[in-house]
């Protein structure tokens, strides 16, 4: 459960991934005539992003409690890693779509919500390394019997 390193990494990865629901991903400025209007990209505004973000949050939380089956835990962590990478690529695709809109986006910045999946990705990689080391440890003790 939470007493192992990878459980802590998985919990932190889920918390960072949950942050995308609270923070904006991107804020762009659209110039229409003399008025500059701000346009924000959020997870809740795009249904596929919302679904992938839910998977990105729930998989690490579920994976924490699969400590008895390390192979399944490793596979679920890999799926969470893929979903996080998919979310990041979808976010970049949405930002490039926003910049190609008419009227054009004159400027914009990535916000905190765009950085949180990167931290989640790193924590998922650390969790995979911890699960692999546990599996190696169990295999080495089985050989000694």
The mean-pLDDT minimum among 3-12, 23-32, 41-50, 61-70 falls in 23-32
- Six-digit token pair at 41? 């990209």
The alpha carbon of residue 30 and the mean position of all alpha carbons in its chain are separated, in whole angstroms, by 28
Domain covering 5-144 in this structure, CATH number: 1.20.140.150
Given strand 35-41, what is the order of strands in its sheet? Answer: 35-41, 26-32, 105-110
pLDDT tens figures, 61-90: 999 998 888 899 999 999 999 999 999 999
d(CA 13, CA 76): 13
Is pLDDT of 1 > 60? no
Task: Specify which of 11-20, 30-39, 40-49, 132-141 reaches the highest per-range mean pLDDT.
Answer: 11-20
Q: CA–CA separation, 87 vs 21, rounded Å?
A: 13
In this model, does residue 2 exceed pLDDT 60? no
pTM here is: 0.86
Q: Which residues of 19-48 are buried (b: 16+ CB within 10 A; e: fewer)?
A: bbeeebbbbbebeeeeeeeeeebbbeebee
pLDDT band, very low/low/confident/very high, at 29 (cuts 50, 70, 90): confident
pLDDT per residue over 119-141, tens digit each?
Answer: 999 999 999 999 998 888 888 87
């Amino acid at each position: 459960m939470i007493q192992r390193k990878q459980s802590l990494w998985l919990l932190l990865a889920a918390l960072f991934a949950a942050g995308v629901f609270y923070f904006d991903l991107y804020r762009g400025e659209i110039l229409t005539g003399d008025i500059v209007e701000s346009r924000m990209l959020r997870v809740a505004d795009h249904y596929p992003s919302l679904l992938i973000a839910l998977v990105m949050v729930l998989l690490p939380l579920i994976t924490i409690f699969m400590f008895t089956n390390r192979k399944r835990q490793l596979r679920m962590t890999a799926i969470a890693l893929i979903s996080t990478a998919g979310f990041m690529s979808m976010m970049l695709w949405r930002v490039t779509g926003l910049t190609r809109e008419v009227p054009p986006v004159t400027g914009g910045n990535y916000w905190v919500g765009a950085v949180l999946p990167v931290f989640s990705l790193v924590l998922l990689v650390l969790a995979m390394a911890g699960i692999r080391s546990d599996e190696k440890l169990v295999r080495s003790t089985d050989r000694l019997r």
